[in-house]
Structure 1
Amino acid sequence: MLVKWIRCTVTDPRGFERGQRKWAGLLGEPGFRGQGGGWSRGRPGVAHVFAFWESRPFYDSFMARSHDRLAAGQSGTYKDIQVKLFEHRFDVKTGFEPRFTDADVVRLAHCRVHADRVEHFALQQAKVWNPAMAGSPGMLRGVFGEAPGHEFLVLSMWQSAAERGKYRPERVERLSVRAQTDADVAALAGDVVQLEPSWTV
C-alpha cells in the first residue's frame, strides 16, 4: 500500500474546503483505498491530507489521468505545499484500514533516520513503540511507512484528542530512551490533525 501525505499552508480556507470536497471524485478510481485529513491543532492555517493507494502503479496511473482535473478546484487557495509518498511497511496495532469515520484526530511523526540506523529504528518501532501505542486507550489503528532517503512516517488514528492526551510526555520520554530514538533519528517533525469529516473520501 502507498501512503501519500500532503501538507500545505492555506490562504483561502473557504475556497480550500470547497475544493477539498471535490476530491470525492476519487471514488471509483482503480486502486484508490481512501482519503481524509483536516487542520493542524498546533499550526494555524496548516492543512494535512492523507491518501491511500493499493500500489504505486495505480497511483501513477491516476496522476497521469485524473489528478489535475480534481486539483484544479483548489488552485490558488494554498501555498508551501509539500507532498511525500511512503510505502507501507507495517501496521501500528493490527489490521490497518484507511478509514477516517470513527477517528477524531490523527497523530503524525515524520522522521529522517541516520542511514546506518534504519533497521534498528524500524525494529524499535515494531518492538517498543507499537505495543505501547496499541495499548493506549482510544488509539484505533495506524501505519508505519518508509520513503527513499531514510524517511519514515508514523500515522496513528485516535478516537479523540483527550484520549491522545493520555499518552503522556513522560511515558513517551521513557519509551524514547528504551528505543534509543535520539541515536536513530536525525530530524523529527510531528503534528496532531483535527479531522474534518467533509474531507473524507
Structure 2
Amino acid sequence: MLVKWTRCTVVDRRGFERGQRKWAGLLGEPGFRGQGGGWSRARPGVVAHVFSFWESRAFYDSFMARSHDRLAATQSGSYKDLQVKLFDHRFDVKTGFEPRFTDADVARVAHCRVHEDRVEHFALMQEKVWNPAMAGSPGMLRGVFGEAPGNEFVVLSMWRSAAEHGKYRVERVERLGLRAQTDADVAALSGDVVQLESTWTV
C-alpha cells in the first residue's frame, strides 16, 4: 500500500473546503483505498493535512497521469506551500489497518528522518516498543508505519478523541523515547495533530 501525505497552507478557506469535497471523484479510481484529513490543531484554518491510500505505486501513478489535475483544479488558488510525500506501507500500528476516518476524531502524524546507520534499529523499536504502547492505549484506533527513500519514515495514528491522544502523550512518550533510544536514531522529527473533518473523507 502507498501512503500519500499532503500538507499545505490555506489562503482561501471556503474555496479550499469546497474543492476538498470534490475529491469524492476519487471513488471508483482503480487502486484507490481511501482519503481523509483536516486542520492542524496548532494552526486551525491555516494548515491542512490530507492522507490518501492506494493499493500500489502503479495505480497511483496511473491516477496522477489521468485524473489528478482535473480534480486538483477545483482547489487552484486556495492554498500555497504544498508539500507532498509518498511512503510505502511497512507495517500496521495495531492490527489490520484500514484507511477509514469516520470513527476517529484526530490523527497524529510524525515524520522522522533517521540516521542511515540507525534505520534498522529505528524500525525495530517502532515495532517492539512504540507499536505495543500505542496499540494498548485507550482511544487509539489504528495506524500505519511507512518508509520513503532517504531514510524517511511516517507514523500515522488515528485516535477516537483528542483527549485520549493527549493523555497518551503526557503519560508515555518521554519514557518510551528513552527506552527506544529515539534521540540516537532520529536526525529530524516533525509532526502535527490533525482535527479530522468528516466532509473531507472519501
Give the TM interval when normalised to the shorter protein: over 0.9
Where do residues 69-148 of structure 1 align in structure 2 (5 Å cutoff)?
69-148=70-149
TM-score by length of 2: 0.98
The aligned counterpart of 1:10 is 10
Where do residues 44-59 of structure 1 align in structure 2 (5 Å cutoff)?
44=44, 45-59=46-60
Q: CA deviation at 1:82?
A: 0.1
Q: Partners in 2 of 1:95 and 1:172 — Cα distance?
A: 24
Q: Give a deviation string over 1:116-153, Cα, whole Å, max 9, x none.
A: 00000000000000000001000000000000000000
Q: Partners in 1 of 2:201 and 2:106 — Cα distance?
A: 13
Q: Partners in 2 of 1:95 and 1:138 — Cα distance?
A: 16
Q: CA deviation at 1:169?
A: 2.9
Q: CA deviation at 1:37?
A: 0.3
Q: Partners in 1 of 2:142 and 2:201 — Cα distance?
A: 17
TM-score by length of 1: 0.99
Q: Give a deviation string over 1:59-84, Cα, whole Å, max 9, x none.
A: 00000000000000000000000000
Q: Partners in 2 of 1:56 and 1:190 — Cα distance?
A: 24
Paired amino acid for 1:186: A
Q: CA deviation at 1:43?
A: 2.1
Counterpart of 1:171 in 2: which secondary structure?
A: helix
Paired amino acid for 2:40: S
Q: CA deviation at 1:170?
A: 4.9
Q: CA deviation at 1:39?
A: 0.1
Q: Partners in 2 of 1:195 and 1:31 — Cα distance?
A: 23
Q: Partners in 1 of 2:82 and 2:92 — Cα distance?
A: 27
Q: Partners in 2 of 1:104 and 1:95 — Cα distance?
A: 19
Q: Give a deviation string over 1:19-62, Cα, whole Å, max 9, x none.
A: 00000000000000000000000124000000000000000000
Q: Partners in 1 of 2:43 and 2:13 — Cα distance?
A: 14
Q: Partners in 2 of 1:170 and 1:194 — Cα distance?
A: 21
The aligned counterpart of 1:165 is 166
The aligned counterpart of 1:40 is 40
Moved more, 159-168 or 53-62: 159-168
Give the count of matched residue pairs: 201
Q: Partners in 2 of 1:168 and 1:52 — Cα distance?
A: 26
Moved more, 39-48 or 4-13: 39-48
Q: 4+ runs of 1 displaced by more than 3 Å?
A: none
Q: Partners in 1 of 2:2 and 2:109 — Cα distance?
A: 16
Structure 2, unmatched stretches of 5+, are: none
Moved more, 168-177 or 80-89: 168-177
Paired amino acid for 1:145: G
Cα RMSD for the two superposed structures = 0.6
